[in-house]
Amino acid sequence: MILSANLVSTDIDDTTDVEDSTEQIEKISHGLPVFDRFKYPYFVSLQYPDRTNPGGYRHFCGGSLITRQIVITAAHCLFNLQQIPGFRILPNYRNTPYIGPSDRTFKIARYVIYPGFDRRIFQHDIAVLLLDQPDARNGATIRLPIADVPLQAPLTIIGFGKIENEIVPNELLSAVVYKLADQICRYYIDPALYIRGTICAGNAIKSGICTGDSGGPLIREVNGISYLQGISSTYFPPCGSNRVSSYVNVLPYLEFINRAVSSLTGGGPRSDEFNIQWTQNDSYTTDGSTVDYA
């Protein structure tokens, strides 16, 4: 089992190559391009500095705007806290990870990582980000879930990254997957690595997430309303070879999200203080090591 983010090296400089040649780099495997540029305005691209890439930054994780200034993403996307000040957030203006001349980007002003996040098994893989400025666009947010997902319900995954043939696309991809029962997921996933309570989803053509899709939304559409039902978290390599991927179930974390938003917007402790406090209580590590499970 492997995280689905492009892992970032400890140091950033002009020559840093943050992509290990042995990594599984991600994109939605067995997905289709998103042609409607206005379909997913709440999707954002987390990017790190890379002067070898057009625009000077490179996409490594996704996220979702739940308010004009709050983004939900995967905790492991923030695994190296020292690099966070260099990240930028690029909203999904035109279904591409590349910036346009008039595009507005944002910095991460503060953040909260779930206190029980366990990077060894990807449990509680959720974080809340506060942008340095509100996004001025109207209607560019997704709603938090109000109910659990029924079995076999259709869900949509979206993201940037390499596909199953390792080609790097320049467009947003999507795929429809279906929620699966725990017993089916345990058939495809080592039971020791399967986290009860996560959303396991897939389809017959093995559509799923890969490295770089981490933090992106698992979307449920109900009566024309989009809900952030899950967060892309882990996949089972190689990309496009497994019938299932694993997603954080957002519903049980609503209290945490509300607490985090209140702290971030209400003048609570700084993000580093918030995480240091939780680090001491929950043995959360941020040593930047690569997590890779078979």
pLDDT single digits (tens) 130-177: 999 999 999 999 999 999 999 999 999 999 876 766 676 678 999 999
For 91-120, what is each residue's pLDDT tens digit? 999 999 999 999 999 999 999 999 999 888
> Hey, what are 201's tokens?
């989803």
- Amino acid at position 206, single letter: K
CATH topology of domain 41-141+252-282: Thrombin, subunit H (2.40.10)
What is the pTM assigned to this prediction? 0.81
Q: What is the pLDDT of residue 193?
A: 67
- Report the distance separating Cα 161 and Cα 175, nearest Å: 14
Length of the chain (residues): 294
Question: Which stretches of the chain score pLDDT less than 50?
Answer: 1-3, 6-27, 269-294
Dihedral angle sign, alpha carbons of residues 197, 251, 5, 201: positive
The domain ranges of the chain are 41-141+252-282
- Which runs of E-coded beta strand occur in the chain? 2-3, 32-33, 43-49, 57-65, 70-73, 88-91, 108-113, 127-131, 154-159, 173-179, 199-202, 217-222, 225-235, 245-249
The predicted pLDDT at position 250 comes to 97
Angstrom distance (rounded) from CA 71 to CA 18: 23
What is the per-residue pLDDT for 122?
A: 82
